[in-house]
């Protein structure tokens, strides 16, 4: 799949402002890809506008499709998030089945991948929107990971701490039990040191909020991830 070699990814939210100079630095940073997506305030128009700005550069650009109305054509790849620990089935199967009933014939399956989220920060927007059970212990997280990886064969498992730096020991444990899925980590990566630690625990490190708060520190994470020893 299109994401199999990604080590470092910058995530851009269509609902958050980013100036042209910072966006150019992001796209020319050496990151493996730009991932477009957000938990609230995202519209089709904002997504189109951000894609057009990124397309001035050669960096691969993928979209997280959180609603079928936001499925903008023209991306290099598409991720379909499923929040496994959501409080309602809509967020892991219901909305997906409804979307496929309406638009299944239009899905570019060769560049579309399932993305099994486990949300672990109860104060995050995504946790509030989905009603996620973020009080899971390590065994609970491991169970969801095995469900996604071994039973459902989802190609991406995503540990989402969204705004806070997570438990790297837990991330390493999850990575060690995966048989075929690639492990994405996102949350609180705001320095080169944190980026290096995350890159040693997960296959792919996603950096998002830091871009808007401290672009220089965020850009330094690219070299840190690329220079880190990947998990075995």
Tell me whether residue 232 is in a domain.
no
Quick one: how far is CA 17 from the chain centroid? 19
Name the pTM for this structure: 0.96
**Hey, CA dihedral for 7, 43, 40, 91, is it positive or negative?**
negative
Other CB atoms within 10 Å distance of the CB of residue 177: 14
In a domain, 1, yes or no: no
CATH of the domain at 51: 3.20.20.390
Q: Summarize pLDDT for 90-136 with one digit per residue, the tens.
A: 888 988 898 888 888 999 999 999 999 999 999 998 899 899 999 99
137 occurs within a structural domain: yes
Residue 2 lies in a domain: no
Range of 92's domain?
8-227
- Report the chain's mean pLDDT, rounded to a whole number: 95
pLDDT at 125 (0 to 100): 87
């Amino acid at each position: 799949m299109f994401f199999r070699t990604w080590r470092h990814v910058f995530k851009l939210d269509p609902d958050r402002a980013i100036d042209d100079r910072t966006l150019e630095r992001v796209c020319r940073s050496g990151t493996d890809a730009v991932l477009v997506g957000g938990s609230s305030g995202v519209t089709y128009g904002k997504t189109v506008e951000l894609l057009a700005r990124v397309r001035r550069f050669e960096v691969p650009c993928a979209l997280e499709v959180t609603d079928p109305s936001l499925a903008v054509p023209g991306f290099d790849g598409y991720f379909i998030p499923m929040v496994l620990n959501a409080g309602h089935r809509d967020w892991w199967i219901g909305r997906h089945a409804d979307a496929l009933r309406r638009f299944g014939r239009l899905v570019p399956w060769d560049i579309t991948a399932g993305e099994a989220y486990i949300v672990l920060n109860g104060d995050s927007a995504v946790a509030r929107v989905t009603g996620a059970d973020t009080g899971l212990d390590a065994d609970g997280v491991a169970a969801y990971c095995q469900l996604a990886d071994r039973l459902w064969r989802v190609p991406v498992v995503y540990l989402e701490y969204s705004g806070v730096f997570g438990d790297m020991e837990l991330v390493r444990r999850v990575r060690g039990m995966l048989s075929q899925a690639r492990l994405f980590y996102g949350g609180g990566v705001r320095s080169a040191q944190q980026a290096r630690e995350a890159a040693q625990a997960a296959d792919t490190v996603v950096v998002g909020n830091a871009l808007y708060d401290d672009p220089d520190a965020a850009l330094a994470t690219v070299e840190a991830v690329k220079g880190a020893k990947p998990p075995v």
